[in-house]
Amino acid sequence: MKSRSLVSLLLLAVVAAAVLAGCGGGSSSSGSGGEGSSGDFASAADAACKQANQEIAGLGTPQQAEVTKYMERTEGVIEELHERVQAAAGDPAAEVAT
């Protein structure tokens, strides 16, 4: 049972690292939508990351029996974050999903 708990905590750490890595990443000037689009994207992405981080923090620390439900909720927040960032980047497929 300890190995199951360890695996769950490791998975949780990986998800948290993925969220943090996607938020606040360095600046990139590879945008092709004009001068202001890079700043607009960065602002929208930062706002989406901040909201996602707040939602995940609001979930609290799960007990062992609650890890699966916690991971499912965290995954939902991350999926929503991904959609919001894609929409901010101007991805037409993401605009349909939001």
Written as tens digits, the pLDDT of the chain (98 aa) is 566 666 666 666 666 666 656 665 544 444 444 445 677 888 888 888 888 888 888 888 877 778 888 888 888 999 999 998 888 888 666 554 44
The answer to whether position 11 is within a domain reads: no
C-alpha–C-alpha distance, residues 29 and 31, integer Å = 6
Residue 10 has what pLDDT? 66
Domain that holds residue 91: 37-98
pLDDT confidence of residue 34? 46
Q: Give the whole-angstrom CA distance, residue 71 versus residue 94.
A: 23
Backbone angles phi, psi at 91, to 5 degrees: -75, 115
pLDDT of residue 30: 47
Does residue 18 form part of some domain? no
In a domain, 2, yes or no: no
Angle between helices 67-88 and 35-58 (to 10 degrees): 170
Is 82 inside any structural domain? yes
- Using an 8 Å Cβ cutoff, are 21 and 85 in contact? no
Residue 21, domain member (yes or no): no
Q: How many domains does the chain have?
A: 1
pTM exceeds 0.75? no
| Any domain includes 43 | yes
- What would the two tokens of residue 77 be? 């927040």
Identify whether 49 is part of a domain. Answer: yes
